[in-house]
Chains A and B, each alone.
Chain A
């Protein structure tokens, strides 16, 4: 079997788990991480003492430990205390909690960059804290944080390959299996790298496009 034919045959076999697992895993984890990150940033911004301490602790632990070990703790470790989670949900949990700690810091910085006067003006219009956050601060903070969050999303697509270590059937895992049968490691791993590159490129293009859209509305500062 020629290498070219192998590459052509394997392309769809690798891309399919990409579409079915890697991309959903990334998107779901990313959306959850944004929710976790936003809440973690908000409780710090609102200066709620107990929750703020908790938030700092969470960020400290997650940012201070390797992602791979976090995956192992949840998937291989938790069954020791009777908590058994399927590979894909385990990966989603770990990726969203991990990314949440990073995006919390990005979002907190963005929140703090919004002029205090707008917040006070919001209160003077009769809005409460959450309304001020939702209508005034978060939309602007999101634009500030957007480039950095988009970078995290691209990094996350690539990091999902780590999920192969906890038996998630994503692209890396599938490629490994094909390599095990065909011994064409170089060609196949290059092909896999190329698929990741394509996905990252599409996301980068999307990022540039969206940033342009934001700026069109005359809101950049």
Chain B
């Protein structure tokens, strides 16, 4: 469905991505793990062109192109087929929950208001916010805001959703409600690429794990295989370390 080859990205002298190859099939839930600063966020941002990478090819829906010289039209086309859920929610502060969800439909996809509202309400219902249509972001808890963000992502009917640590900014007691929503999407075969520090989430919901370190992919394998890793010392200590912190 989507594949990238040889993504390289540097900020000044710092090479943050050193040749990333990644292929995601329809229905995959891929967890990206790795220590802080390893380039996970940057990879996601490059894949949605929020950041322009220096080198790399992308194959999206069987069409291959160079990512560094991609046209604005192509970026636009890809953004209409993908969605992004941010660590800090990034809801539009001047819009209600429903307007947050429908803005892209109305403005970018030119769907009329009645139809957009119908889709928007359906999406908010799906994430359990049927009573919050008219609430502004400042009136919602972090968990609710992130669920609005997920509803907003779903509204455009994307082929893939990118999540960048969707629960990292949340109080511990609010993490569960967001993870439950993501799990439901996984059960419905939604294709997702999720950067996370939640080991249990990665273990039980993803079907593949990508482990990044220092701008490279160290391991990319099935989830079971990853967590039963006996050979790679670096990965074993990473898992042990995080599990310990989580307890």
Contacts and interface: CB of A to CB of B under 8 A. Distances in A.
Interface of A: 115, 117-118, 120-128, 131, 135-136, 139-140, 143, 217-219, 221
B90 A117 contact: yes
- The 8 closest A-B CB pairs, nearest first, are A125-B104, A126-B108, A117-B90, A121-B90, A124-B84, A126-B80, A218-B136, A139-B94
B48 interface: yes
Q: Which of B92, B103, B139, B156 has the most CB of A within 10 A?
A: B92
Given A125-B103, A128-B76, A140 B94 contact: yes
A120 to B, nearest CB: 5
Contacts of A127: 103-104, 107-108
Q: Which of A115, A125, A136, A217 has the most CB of B within 10 A?
A: A125
A140 B50 contact: no
Interface of A is mostly: helix
21 contacts: A117-B88, A118-B92, A118-B93, A120-B84, A121-B84, A121-B91, A121-B92, A121-B152, A122-B103, A124-B84, A125-B83, A126-B109, A126-B156, A127-B103, A127-B104, A131-B108, A135-B107, A136-B94, A140-B93, A219-B94, A221-B93
A124 B161 CA distance: 11
B49 to A, nearest CB: 8
Given A123-B50, A125-B156, A140-B94, 17 more contacts: A115-B90, A118-B91, A118-B93, A121-B86, A121-B90, A121-B149, A124-B48, A124-B50, A125-B79, A126-B79, A126-B156, A135-B103, A136-B103, A218-B139, A219-B93, A219-B138, A221-B138
Contacts of B76: 126, 128
Nearest to B45: A120
Contacts, number: 74
Interface of B: 48, 50, 76, 79-80, 82-84, 86, 88, 90-95, 103-104, 107-109, 136, 138-139, 149, 152, 156
B83 to A, nearest CB: 6
